[in-house]
Amino acid sequence: MNCILLSRNTKSISDAQQVMHIKEVLKSKVGDSLTIGEMGGNLGKATITQINDNEVLLSDVTLDKKPPAKLDLTVILALPRPKVLRRLIMDMTSLGVNKLIIVNSYRSQKSYWQSPLLNRIDEFVFEGLQQAIDTVPLEIEFKKRFKPFVEDEFPALLADKEQSDAVIAHPYASQSWKTYLDGLKCKDSNKETMPKILCVGAEGGWIDYEVDLLCKHGCTAVSLGERILRTETVVSVLLGHWLEEKSSC
C-alpha cells in the first residue's frame, strides 16, 4: 500500500489490513504523517493521533492533490483463469486503464464464470489503487456472449472513441506491433496517437474465428513476435507504450 484509501469524510481507519499495514509495515507512530486518498476524490496527507489494535485515528486531513489521469484506453480481455484475472485487474488498475470489458471466448472454460473470485473484483481494484496512489477505479463490465458483443456493441464502442483505432494482440498476426506503431507516426508526424481499444486473449489466445470477427468490426491484428507469451506479460508489455506516450505529452 503506497497510500491508504478512505471513504469520504472519514477520519479513522478500521480496515484490518490497512491497520496492520500501518502498524507492521510502515511502523507508523502517533504524530506521523500518512499518504491517504479519498475514494473517488483527491489525494493528500493526514496525521495519526491515536493507534490501537483495531483502529487508527487521524487529524489534519488535507486532500489537495488530484489523482493521476487515466489512460485513454479500453481493454477487452478474454476471461482467463480467475487467479490470473486477479493479478491482471490489479496491474491494469495500477497502470491506469480507464475501462475493462471481460468477455467470454472459446478458450475461457465455463467453470471460470462460476469462480467466487469474480465476486471480489472490487477488492482487487482497491489493491491496485492503493499500489498506484490513485483513487478512481477503472470501470469493469462482463460480457458472457462473445459474438453478440462484437457484432452489436463493439462498433458503437469504437464510434464512441471518435473512430480511433483498435488492436487485437495475436501471435500469428502478419503485422508486428512495431510496424503498426510506425504507421501511426506516419499518419501524424507531430504526435503519435495510440489506439483507444486493446483486445487481449486469455491463455491459449484467441481462435481464428474470434480474430476474424474482431477484425471485421474494426480491429487490427498485431503480433509481439514468435514467442507465445502469458496474458500478464502481453498486457504489461503493450500498456507500457500507452504509459510512454502519456508521459511524453
Nearest to 129 by CA among 85, 93, 103: 93
- How many of the other CB atoms lie within 10 Å of CB of 241? 16
Grid coordinates given for 182: 510506425
63 has pLDDT over 50: yes
Q: Which residue has the cell 473484483?
A: 121
Per-domain residue ranges of the chain: 4-65, 71-248
Residues 154, 160: Cα–Cα separation, whole Å:
10
pLDDT over 70 for what percent of the chain?
A: 94
What was the pLDDT predicted at 164?
62
The fold of the 71-248 domain, in CATH, is Alpha/beta knot (3.40.1280)
**What pLDDT is stored for residue 194 in this prediction?**
85
DSSP collapsed to 3 states, the chain: CCCEEECCCCCEECCHHHHHHHHHHCCCCCCCEEEEEECCCCEEEEEEEEECCCCEEEEEEEEEECCCCCEEEEEEEECCCHHHHHHHHHHHHHHCEEEEEEECCCCCCHHHHHCHHHHHHHHHHHHHHHHHCCCCCCEEEEECCHHHHHHHHHHHHHHHCCCCCEEEECCCCCCEHHHHHHHHHHHCCCCCCCCCEEEECCCCCCCHHHHHHHHHCCEEEEECCCCCCCHHHHHHHHHHHHHHHHHHC
Cell of 62: 488535507
Task: Report whether 239 contacts 92 (CB < 8 A).
Answer: yes
Give 141's contacts (C-beta < 8 A, 6+ positions apart): 99, 100, 101, 102
Start-to-end Cα distance in the chain: 28
Mean pLDDT of 107-126: 93
Cell 469520504 found at: 8
What are the Cα distances from residue 155, in Å, to 97, 168, 195, 197?
A: 20, 14, 15, 11
Confidence (pLDDT) at 249: 58
pLDDT for 243: 82
Q: What is the pLDDT of residue 186?
A: 63
What pLDDT digit, counting tens, does each position of 188-246 carry? Answer: 555 557 889 999 998 778 999 999 999 999 899 999 888 888 899 899 989 988 887 76
Residue range 151-160, pLDDT digits in tens: 999 988 887 6
CATH number belonging to the domain at 4-65, selected among 3.30.470.10, 3.20.20.150, 3.20.190.10, 2.40.240.20: 2.40.240.20
pTM of the model: 0.90
227 versus 100: the higher-pLDDT residue is 100
The chain-wide mean pLDDT, for the chain, equals: 90
Per-residue pLDDT, 156:
87
Task: Report CA torsion sign: 19, 24, 26, 32.
Answer: positive
Q: What is the pLDDT of residue 203?
A: 79
User: What distance in Å separates the CA atoms of residue 216 and residue 10, rounded to the nearest whole number?
Assistant: 50
Bridge partners (DSSP) listed for residue 57: 12, 50
Per-residue model confidence (pLDDT) at position 163: 47
